[in-house]
Structure 1
Amino acid sequence: MRNPGYAIALLILLAVQTSSAQIQDETGLVAPNAEVVKLGEGYSFTEGPVADPSGNVFFTDQPNNKILKWEAETGKISVFSDQAGRSNGMFFDNKGNLIACADEHNQLWSINARGKHKVLVKERDGKLLNGPNDVWVHPNGNIYFTDPLYARDYWKRTPEKQQDGEHVYLLKPGKKELIVLNSGVVKPNGIIGSPDGKNLYIADIGDKKIYRYVIEPDGTVSGRSLAAPMAADGITLDEKGNLYLAGNGITVFDKNARQIAHIPVRKGWSANVTFGGTDRRLLFVTAGDAVFGIRMNVKGAY
């Protein structure tokens, strides 16, 4: 096996810094002299990054209906699926399946290692979902996903809201009935949970805040508290419990909701973020028509 940093080191040698703005980092999260580098380009709109156990990162090119795979060892990018249901947010379950927010028909999918999918959720109370956006899988198999309304020009359905609200849902293993979480959010977007399964984080882009919840034994949530006082799209955690927010580049908050870092990525919106690489120290960012990475001193929570 190659040195874990081989592929990233090679890319850094070949890449140029993508932003003239300075990285702000109070606590040494970013590796010394690290720069944001472009890992791939030529897409329409990238989203949904998530790493497998080997550190390979799967991400979507939603308008082109593709899931792509960035290989941690080589840095190469290949097409994993070109019939991806217009997938948006994704997360691996404990069986190695990709759980994907398949936005084309407002469904939640499970995609196996061969790229074959099955539909987990296609409606609630006889109506289509608004548009599943992001998803996280609890260690016990419970699936949490957000369902805001962002009308798509490829929908064949009416663009109006289908459900009685823009909810966060819980789907338990082997069940078909969705449970609406009492989250109090206005418009949920990004979602992530702690690896120990005790806390859930929801980006409320409507309220311009990130909230933390306690996950109860029955899977519901309680004890809402402020995790970050700003809006975000996708979110993730590092091994220390710091929260990473995609939007204006990547902004990092500690456990006390205090901003401790900001990483400029590119002009315009950064949609989502995760950790990848063989050592889980590559911060991987989806942003517009490209994907980017920067070496970190910390590992991802996943």
Structure 2
Amino acid sequence: MQQERSESDHAVRSVPGGQEERRAEVADVRASTLSRRSLLGGIAAGATALGTGVALAQTQAPTGPAAPPSTVTTPPRDFGPGGAPTTYFNDPDVLTIDPAFNQLVVPNSAITRLWTGALWAEGPAWNAQGRYLVWSDIPNNRQLRWLEDDGHVSVFRMPSNNSNGNTFDFQGRQISCEHVTRRVVRYELDGSITVIADNYNGKRLNSPNDAVPHPDGSIWFTDPPYGGLIYEGAPDAAGGPSNPAGRFNARIGQAVGNGLAKRELPTNCYRWDPSGRLDLVITEDEVPDPNGLCFSPDYKKLYVCSTGKGPGDQGPGGKGEVYVFDVGADNKLSNRKLFTDCMIDGVKCGPDGIRCDVTGHVWISSNAGRAVGYSGVTVWTPEGKLIGRIRLPEVCGNICFGGPKRNRLFMVASQSLYAVYVNTQGAAPG
């Protein structure tokens, strides 16, 4: 993961209905002279016209389809369990862009903040046997666990070696990507730990980010450099790409043996075979700074998010896009295509985590930076058409499906954990 700031400081309402109605509504909001700054007392310089539209909608008789309130209503919506009711049919922050999204929405299901208190939440994964969610709090060097039966949250594993992505394989074993140790590990059912991968052709990995299991027993994972940030791991040892002048002491605060490595590899994607072999499947030239990844329900396609430039990158880095590949019977990838550039209403909704449901729809976390109202989750058809959005009041880093029926979307967003029930199921374990 990488926290990226959007250059756009505006947020515009998305409204139900056809594209022409949406364009007209956007034009009306942008044309308004009443600023969000005046409404909120100067909280944010250069604020958006979003608050304007909400204020006018509260004081004037509607002339068209009612626009749902957003995450920046005044007073702000309380997403917690003690907040005022917001959902009288569909949640106002679950937005239908295309009617096809309605089949995936559950009426009377509200977005709920289940917990808050992380520094940067990432890597949610659902354990079906234990009926709990595990996720990473990267800077705090810990993994957290939410219990489905009573909502209790506790520290699950600490230290976690600044783990990022987590998943469960088809045997129910947890897979974790560790930043500071530059490796992918598997927690065995007896509690022991197996290192799946920590090098490629004798060179240390950068900082594995996200991983997905395949029914053939293999684990596919991405290896961008974001663990080279002090906040999320350890920079390179002196002279490495993220610490060329040696100003950082990479060993400070680390266990013995950590903080000694230097970046040696491009940002690639790999496939770990149960035989122990590690294969390069996507190069940096094809997808720079790869981040989240997932398979289609039939495992014939692989989706990969390309995020922004990371520490030590010598090239331009990723551009906040999602690519899709065909997966051959020999596990070779081909036919690389741009799935989406994640631009919505002129706002870059930077991708990070990604999951498919059983119908093949693609759910992508959204980091829109300061464009309030565009962070959360975007939902796409297998053909790359945007059909829906879920708005959160925080940048969303990653997502997964879980719950006893695997029909609950869990969203880790900055400091918090959110969830909403949906009318579909996740396509893969974890």
Q: Normalised by the size of structure 1, how large is the TM-score?
A: 0.88
Check the 8 A contact 2:144/2:154 in 1, yes or no: yes
Post-superposition offset of 1:186: 1.8
Post-superposition offset of 1:12: 7.6
Give the counterpart of 1:74 among 150, 169, 181.
Answer: 150
In structure 1, the residue matched to 2:229 is: 152
Equivalences, count: 290
In structure 1, the residue matched to 2:393 is: 266
Greater CA deviation, 112-121 or 99-108? Answer: 112-121
Post-superposition offset of 1:115: 5.0
In structure 2, the residue matched to 1:252 is: 379
Q: Distance in 2 between matches of 1:114 and 1:251?
A: 38
Aligned-residue Cα RMSD (Å) equals: 2.3
Give the counterpart of 2:264 among 163, 173, 179.
Answer: 163
Check the 8 A contact 1:148/1:188 in 2, yes or no: yes
Q: Distance in 2 between matches of 1:156 and 1:251?
A: 32
Unaligned runs of 5+ in 2: 1-78, 243-262, 308-317, 343-349, 367-374
Q: Distance in 2 between matches of 1:224 and 1:44?
A: 35
Q: Normalised by the size of structure 2, how large is the TM-score?
A: 0.63
Distance 1:16 1:96, change over 3 A: farther
Q: Whose helix fraction is larger, Structure 1's or Structure 2's?
A: 2
Post-superposition offset of 1:181: 2.7
Check the 8 A contact 1:15/1:37 in 2, yes or no: no
Post-superposition offset of 1:140: 0.6
Deviations 1:121-164 (A, max 9, x none): 12223322111111111111111111111222141633626234
Check the 8 A contact 1:139/1:196 in 2, yes or no: no
In structure 1, the residue matched to 2:292 is: 190
**Is 2:169 aligned against 1:93?**
yes
Letter in 1 for 2:269: V
Post-superposition offset of 1:15: 4.6
Letter in 2 for 1:62: I
Post-superposition offset of 1:292: 0.5
Check the 8 A contact 2:81/2:112 in 1, yes or no: no
In structure 2, the residue matched to 1:8 is: none
Give the counterpart of 1:60 among 132, 136, 139.
Answer: 136
Instruction: Identify the structure with bigger relative contact order (alpha carbons < 8 Å, sequence gap 6+).
Output: 1
In structure 1, the residue matched to 2:351 is: 232
Deviations 1:10-37 (A, max 9, x none): x98545579x973212322221132211
Q: 1:205-220 to 2 correspondence within 5 Å? A: 205=307, 206-220=318-332
Asked which structure has the greater CA Rg, the reply is: 2
In structure 2, the residue matched to 1:111 is: 187
Greater CA deviation, 64-73 or 174-183? Answer: 174-183
Q: Whose strand fraction is larger, Structure 1's or Structure 2's?
A: 1
In structure 2, the residue matched to 1:202 is: 304
Indicate the SS of the match to 2:180.
Answer: helix
Give the counterpart of 1:140 among 216, 241, 244.
Answer: 216
State the identity %: 30
**Is 2:178 aligned against 1:102?**
yes
Q: Distance in 2 between matches of 1:114 and 1:196?
A: 31
Post-superposition offset of 1:100: 1.0
Distance 1:275 1:300, change over 3 A: same
Q: Distance in 2 between matches of 1:113 and 1:217?
A: 30
Letter in 2 for 1:277: G
Distance 1:15 1:218, change over 3 A: farther
Letter in 1 for 2:108: N
Deviations 1:46-86 (A, max 9, x none): 11011122452211111122222222232222322113221
Distance 1:37 1:16, change over 3 A: farther
Indicate the SS of the match to 1:104.
Answer: coil
Q: Distance in 1 between matches of 2:111 and 2:353?
A: 18
Post-superposition offset of 1:240: 1.1
Unaligned runs of 5+ in 1: 1-10
Q: Distance in 1 between matches of 2:335 and 2:203?
A: 30
**Is 2:421 aligned against 1:295?**
yes
Distance 1:89 1:58, change over 3 A: same
Indicate the SS of the match to 1:64.
Answer: coil
In structure 1, the residue matched to 2:54 is: none
Deviations 1:187-231 (A, max 9, x none): 211111124322211011213321121111222211223333314
Q: Distance in 1 between matches of 2:266 and 2:80?
A: 45
Check the 8 A contact 2:291/2:306 in 1, yes or no: yes
In structure 2, the residue matched to 1:175 is: 276
Check the 8 A contact 1:143/1:171 in 2, yes or no: yes
Check the 8 A contact 1:73/1:278 in 2, yes or no: no
Check the 8 A contact 1:181/1:220 in 2, yes or no: no
Q: Distance in 2 between matches of 1:38 and 1:223?
A: 39
Q: Distance in 1 between matches of 2:197 and 2:113?
A: 35
In structure 1, the residue matched to 2:117 is: 42
Distance 1:42 1:211, change over 3 A: same
Check the 8 A contact 2:297/2:360 in 1, yes or no: no
